[in-house]
A and B are shown apart, each in its own frame.
Chain A
Amino acid sequence: MIPELGHFAIILALCFALIQGVVPLCVRASQSTTNNPFATVSQTAAIGQFLFLGFAMLCLIASFLVNDMSVVYVQEHSHQLLPFIYRVGAAWGGHEGSLLLWCLILSGWTVSFIIMNHAGNISRHVIMLLGFISAGFIVFLFFTSDPFLRVFPTAPVVGDDLTPVLQDPGLIFHPPMLYMGYVGFAIAFAFAISALITGKWEKAWAEALRPWVILPWSFLSCGIVLGSWWAYRELGWGGWWFWDPVENASLLPWLSATALIHALIVSEKRQVFKGWTILLAIVTFTLSLLGTFLVRSGILVSVHTFANDPTRGIFLLGYLAVIIGGAFTFYSVRIKNFYQAPNFELFSRETFLLINTVVMLTAVATICLGTLYPIILDALNLEKISVGEPYFNTVFLPIMLPILLLMGFAPHVNWGKQSFSVLWKKLHLALITSFLLSVILPWVFGFSFHWISCLGIFFAIWIILATGQYALQLLRARKKIEIQHSAMIIGHIGIAILALGITLNKTYSEERQVKIQTGETVTLAGYHFTLSHILKTRNENYESTTAYFNVWKTTHHEQILQADQRVYTSHEQSLSKPGILANPWRDLYLALGSPLPNGGWSIRLYYKPFVRWIWFGGLMLLIGGLLSLLHYRKRGEQ
């Protein structure tokens, strides 16, 4: 009964989505919006759609909680022994459920937009377009990926279980967080198309749009950080970023949304870059959809392998071609109306922000090329290759470095025009200090000299000093820092910490692969690891072999590290659950390999300095983003 209710809820949600999209088209003819009873129909339909999709999601979760094995999706992703908490996460652990989540979150964004926006007359178009976008996805969900399909009359009794690597608290939060980001850019997209429809771009719209870009951007940042943290803990390779196609798919919209945020500031404050902003908004959502396509169609081989069903890929690609192809066609016809002669000089804040957006898009293009290159070569029948870390590290670093240098300057540069000598006078001390510190600090802390880490330290300190100086300057002039500014300051310092974490981690990481017997000791980066004993235990749905290590640097301070090797009852698959000893300065990371015939184990040891800083920097982006929203709440109260 419950799955059927969910099934009907999806059908009703689709009807509501169509009403949301179609009714405003009819109302348009009559023009008057104030006393027209149909004017609010679209909004009501959006709310109805949200409620029914929410209900469908609850039905799916309920089917998982009671383990209704007659539902194919539940049978494929659950198991009698699967712990309760993971059954909730399993609801979006596979293709069908995660698509339902996609639709639910899109309608959630639409409803919150309806409730909280101050965009005025343009919002009618935005809600209409969101209705069509949503309808397309619900059709996709219903016809190719129905999560409520049943098998009658004989249902398999045992479930296939959720893939062991997904049985982790990270799974419950990571996909929703990522989708909140991905899907949220639909609003910016709808905004851009609405602007193309009406043929103008008002200052008030840019202002109204900003929170709807910053909020999904914050969620996406957090989702990427969660994903990285999950990969680090679960995959057992000691890495935090693998340039996996699916990771790239989440990074691409993040980069272009970062560009969009900065372009929006210019189009709001200075009335230029309007066409550029519209293009970036379209590109950002395109990349979200492209990411969804890459992940869901199985076109790429990745650690996130999902079932490969060609009809799904073709449907998604067709949908992409219609929605995005339509948007770009519209763009090419209408965009000339948005041209505005530049009213700023070469050395000005506008130029700095423009460079930012151009660099971000360049990064998008190079990552996109690396991700799609294997497909392109294969499609041309040339050869089968895979593009990996060496390519991405080589191209990404040189592109992003100049941005870090400019980031320190940008807040100090005036709108319209800036004299270079004044800027130099203001910032040369910070620049020189950070240069000196980048040479001295590694020496003081006894690190070996390496140019990448020096560069990392230099840029990080430079951004922190320059941004800090900007904050002081604000305090001195106005006695307070406005929310908008503090959000920027936190965000930029977050990037500095992120860059520092990445470079130091990269240069000073150490690893060893050894064979070890009980009682033996191995040493890595000054830490001694003694294998004290091995314990076999039975848990709810897996058997684990746990190795206990005593870890010490100096004899009077000993810590215990435990690493697991799990064999899940439902899969004949074993999973290595690494043991991690963390502190702010370094992680000690130990993964069990395989048992040796003579009773020992092969293990991999990693020393990962400053790895926590990477995620901390990422979280600061979330904090900065959320903080900037307070500004809009205050404005709403006034």
Chain B
Amino acid sequence: MKLRFVLPLLVFFIIVFFLWRGLHLHPEQIPSPLIDKLAPTFELTILSDAKKKTSEKDLFGHVTLVNVWATWCYACAMEHEFLVDLAKNQGVLIYGLDYKDDPSAALNWLHEKGDPYYIVASDINGDAAIDWGVYGTPETFLLDKNEVIRYKQLGPLTPEIWETTFKPLIQQLQDEP
């Protein structure tokens, strides 16, 4: 049996091997280019008070989560309960970015389901979200005390992800100057 007769078989199985490995990968989880960069600047109105403005300066000085959400997003509803638990019982600071949403609907939602956020910025046109590289809701950014993005979570935040990834990282960030 000559090599050239077996060649198609070999090529085929190399491809199958990579496809098999590929099945266990997560191509949609692209590492954000913003990791270890300063949070992008923005200026938006505050959801609860349209006359007041909020900007990235409100993120300074503490380890903060920036959570991008919307009332029309099904997965956001799933993670919301956990966010409320984090804010109430574990004292985590969560900054909300209400993405392309109707402000009155968003206020209703927070009234009904509880409000885990210390500030909610209302990004009606989605301009700030573009600068932050958001391409789906929910997304959660973890920022250190100096306003640098240290981690980004795509999709809903679950207790497992919190325990394995966020918690150790936050402890480490708290100890940093």
Interface residues of chain A, those whose CB is within 8 Å of chain B, are 279, 282-283, 286, 290, 293, 297, 299-301, 310, 313-314, 317, 320-321, 324-325, 328-329, 331-333, 335-336, 368, 372, 374-376, 378-379, 384, 572, 594, 597
Query: In the assembly, what is the distance between CA of A286 and CA of B16, in Å?
Result: 11
Q: Which of A290, A314, A332 is within 8 Å of B8, CB to CB?
A: A332
Given A331-B8, A375-B25, also A594-B18 (CB < 8 A): no
Residues of chain A within 8 A (CB-CB) of B125 are 594, 597
Interface of B is mostly: helix
Q: What A residues does B21 contact at CB under 8 A?
A: 375, 379
- CB contacts (< 8 Å) of B30 on chain A: these are 384
Check B22 for interface membership: any CB of A closer than 8 A.
yes
What B residues does A286 contact at CB under 8 A? 12
Partner of B13, one of A279, A293, A300, A325: A325
16 contacts between A and B (CB under 8 A): A286-B12, A299-B23, A300-B27, A314-B20, A317-B16, A321-B13, A325-B12, A332-B1, A333-B1, A336-B1, A336-B2, A368-B15, A375-B21, A378-B25, A378-B27, A597-B125
Given A301-B28, A332-B5, A384-B30, answer yes or no on A293-B19 (Cβ-Cβ < 8 Å). Answer: yes
Q: Given known contacts A299-B27, A384-B31, is B12 in contact with A572 (CB within 8 Å)?
A: no
CA distance A376 to B19 in the complex (A): 8
Which residues of B lie under 8 Å from residue A333 when comparing CB positions? 1, 5
Whether A320 contacts B9 by the Cβ 8 Å rule is no
Q: Which residues of A contact B13 (CB under 8 A)?
A: 321, 325
Q: What is the interface size of chain B, counting residues whose CB is below 8 A from a CB of the partner?
A: 24
A384–B18 contact, CB under 8 A? no
Binding site for A on B (CB under 8 A): 1-2, 5-6, 8-9, 12-13, 15-16, 18-25, 27-28, 30-31, 72, 125
A378 to B21, CA, bound (A): 9
A279 touches which one: B8, B18, B28 (CB < 8 A)? B8
Q: Which 6 A-B pairs have the closest CB atoms?
A: A379-B21, A375-B22, A328-B9, A572-B72, A332-B5, A332-B6
Cβ A328 vs Cβ B25 within 8 A: no
Q: A293-B19, A331-B8 are in contact. List 4 more A-B contacts (CB 8 A).
A: A332-B9, A368-B15, A372-B15, A375-B25
Of A290, A310, A329, A384, which contacts B23 at CB under 8 A? A310
List chain B residues, Cβ under 8 A from A572. Answer: 72
Q: Once bound together, how far apart are the Cα atoms of A290 and B19, in whole Å?
A: 10
- In the complex, are the beta carbons of B22 and A299 less than 8 A apart? yes
Q: How far is the CB of A435 from chain B (nearest CB, A)?
A: 40
- Whether B16 contacts A282 by the Cβ 8 Å rule is no
B26 shortest CB reach to chain A, Å: 9
- Residues of chain B contacted by A293 (CB below 8 angstroms): 19
Point out the residues of chain A lying under 8 angstroms from B24, CB to CB.
Answer: 310
| Residues on the A chain within 8 Å of B15, using CB | 290, 368, 372
* Cα of A454 to Cα of B174 in the assembled complex, Å: 64
Contact of B5 with A331 in the complex, beta carbons under 8 Å: yes
Q: Do A335 and B5 have beta carbons less than 8 Å apart?
A: yes
Nearest B residue to A299 via CB reads B22
CB < 8 Å neighbour of A282 from B1, B2, B8, B23:
B8
Known contacts A279-B8, A299-B27, A301-B28; is A378 also within 8 Å of B22 by CB? Answer: yes
Tell me which residues across on chain B come within 8 A of A384, comparing CB atoms.
Answer: 27, 30-31
A residues near B8, Cβ cutoff 8 Å = 279, 282-283, 328, 331-332
**Which residues of A lie under 8 Å from residue B20 when comparing CB positions?**
314, 317
